[in-house]
Amino acid sequence: MAHQPSPVTALYPGSFDPITNGHLDLIRRSSVLFDKLIVSVLDNQAKQPLFSVSERMEMLGDAVRRFDNVEVDSFNGLLVEYAAARGARVIVRGIRAISDYEFELQMTHMNRRLRPGIETVFLMATEAYSFVSSRLVKEVFRLGGDISGLVPPMVESRLRSRFEENPRHT
């Protein structure tokens, strides 16, 4: 009798403030690799996010609707404790540049020390999105630059609304 591997749940955490097409590319690629993917918004008020957790979850939910095995959630506290509570055996992290790798490597080693049974998988950013970050998208938009193609259209619309509400918002 052949051994059937158990389904693998992966977790893709982030601030997603806002979600970019680079995030969506990693979600699409991860959804093919794992049986279930939980995309989870970090609730970290120390970062002074532009959008609330519920707004980010709403945008994510809209953006990932087409993926049957992707779920949107939020968390605070230790990532590995949240992953364990959700039954995730894998944490997905995107790498755009060497600077990302250095930070992610440190976090991976700490997470492995805290929860040895949870692995971290790094996916390299697709070349077209290797320079895109939520921070950079917000800054370019705030300064009047064109961000079409870098974020889903509904995110661009949300950014426009947010900056019209408070033009001094960063």
Q: Which amino acid is at 130?
A: S
Reading the block at residue 90, the tokens are 């894998």
- Find the catalytic residue in 28, 29, 86, 96: 96
Please write the tens of the pLDDT for every residue from 19-29.
999 999 999 99
Q: Where are the domains of the chain?
A: 9-130
* pLDDT above 60 for 128: yes
* pLDDT above 70 for 169: no
Catalytic residue list contains 3: no
pLDDT of residue 168: 57
Instruction: Please state, in angstroms and rounded to a whole number, the distance separating the CA atoms of residues 76 and 12.
Output: 14
Instruction: Please state, in angstroms and rounded to a whole number, the distance separating the CA atoms of residues 87 and 58.
Output: 23
- Find the catalytic residue in 15, 30, 31, 134: 134
- Find the catalytic residue in 47, 109, 160, 169: 47
Pick the CATH number of 9-130 from 3.40.50.620, 3.20.20.70, 3.30.70.2390, 3.40.710.10: 3.40.50.620
Instruction: Label the pairing between strands 90-95 and 70-75.
Output: unpaired
* pLDDT above 90 for 140: yes
- Least confident range of 6-15, 32-41, 42-51, 119-128: 42-51
Please write the tens of the pLDDT for every residue from 39-62.
999 998 777 899 999 999 999 999
Split at pLDDT 50, 70, 90, the class of 167 is low
Scanning 34-152, the segments in alpha helix (DSSP H) are 53-64, 79-85, 98-114, 134-142
Catalytic residue list contains 96: yes
Instruction: Please state, in angstroms and rounded to a whole number, the distance separating the CA atoms of residues 28 and 37.
Output: 10
Could you tell me if residue 140 is left (phi over 0), alpha (psi between -120 and 50 degrees) or otherwise beta?
alpha
Backbone angles phi, psi at 137, to 5 degrees: -60, -45
* pLDDT above 60 for 170: no
pLDDT of residue 1: 65
Q: pTM (2 decimals)?
A: 0.92
Mean pLDDT value across the chain? 93
DSSP string, 108-137: HHHHHHH-TT-EEEEEEPPGGGTT--HHHH
* pLDDT above 70 for 105: yes
- Find the catalytic residue in 23, 93, 138, 158: 23
* pLDDT above 80 for 14: yes
Report helix angle 134-142 to 153-165, nearest 10. Answer: 50
